[in-house]
Amino acid sequence: MKKFDIKRTAMIVLLVGLIFSLGVQTGRGNISFGRTKNTANSQLPENINYSSVEQVYDSLREQYDGELDYDKLLNGLKSGLVAASGDPYTEYLSEEQAKEFEGDLNGTFEGIGAELSKEDEFVVIVAPIKDMPADKAGLKPKDKISKIDGENAYGMSVEEAKNKIRGPKGTKVKLTLIRDNKEVEVEITRATINVPSVESSIKNNIGIMTIYRYGDDTSYLARKAANEFKQAGVKGVVLDLRGNPGGYLEAAVNVSSLWLNNKVVLKEKRGDVVIKTYESRGEATLNGIPTVVLINEGSASASEITAGALKDNNAATLVGVKSYGKGSVQQPEPLQSGGILKVTIARWYTPDGKNIDKEGIKPDKEVNISEEDYKNGKDPQLDAAIGILNN
């Protein structure tokens, strides 16, 4: 996997947060590399008046009963400024966090294997990664984290929660979750998380492609799988995007292009103005082959782009439950300090003009998985998909 370079302007990333931070972090929206300007805020002063900030700093320095760390104060100042935007996906990342960001996007880190986001004042689980510690411990999409190792997590930022949950493999973290208005306490042993990008197989003449994240190798691996499906003459394809928290936007466009021939994949808008339209590119290897896309509450960002593009272009049937709902675009700005400002610059829309932010994408056929199904190793969603392709 090639090294991630935050200064590349041709790459675009979808984050429902920072993709795999604690074992993934937020369901990040779309991160776009390349500078854009928003004239809507042109009425703000060109520079901040720091006199009141300096007064707070002076009072802390002179009167605080304890030892202060200058770098932490400075990072806190930047984080607070960004948090005041009120947008959970606009974030300041310190130099250390920016380095973690690179590792997270590459899919290898130590943690529990779950993506985080923010809803109201709660940090919530977007999706546990299949077969990782969080998944094995029973974490579910939309679980709210109320405590981390007994510490109140209400009002905590995603970054703060991530830092407390991540840790060396073999160590434990205790999470108190709110699920269905009840508290659930779970102790999880951290591990090295190695998130695969794409897995594929052919069963009973049906190609099954599972995309766990949209990394920088996803486009190649997905096309490789598609070519294998085509050569084998499969009668149908299941594209499994369940629990996929997102990743690179370009990868989402490339995956969608395997089914779409000269079609719109998504549009980016700022306000009511379309600032960019993404169309399918390359050979549509799987065009015309009956396809079912599996989605659930953990399908977010880039995976929602693919699901929305195939649905709106009548290239696939969607099965499962409503997706997460992440429809904004972020752009990372490298800072002189070595940190990154990840700022929301636009909203993305499906080919039919729908923004799915906080709404998600509804499947054509709703199929749930019960607790009993999980315990017994059953997968009624996959069974339903195969049933559709066999009819």
Structure tokens at 161: 């929660």
CB 129 within 8 A of CB 195: yes
Contact 198, 225 (CB under 8 A): yes
Catalytic residue among 130, 140, 164, 326: 326
d(CA 340, CA 78): 11
Catalytic residue from among 32, 301, 303, 323: 301
How many C-beta neighbours within 10 Å does residue 66 have? 5
Residue 301 appears among annotated catalytic residues: yes
Name which of 20, 12, 27, 4 is nearest 89 in CA terms. 27
Phi, psi of 374 (to 5 degrees): -60, -50
Q: Give CA–CA dist 328/330, Å, rounded.
A: 7
Q: Is 326 a catalytic residue?
A: yes
312 is catalytic: yes
Burial class (CB in 10 A: 0-12, 13-18, 19+), 262: exposed
Cα atoms in the Cβ-side hemisphere of radius 13 Å centred on 306: 38
Q: CB under 8 Å to 53, separation ≥6 — which residues?
A: 77
Token pair listed for 170: 């073999």
- Among residues 94, 312, 328, 342, the one annotated as catalytic is 312
Residues whose CB falls within 8 Å of the CB of residue 61, separated by 6 or more in sequence, listed in order: 68
CA distances from 27 to 54, 229, 235, 314, 327 (A): 35, 30, 33, 26, 10
Which positions are catalytic? 301, 312, 326
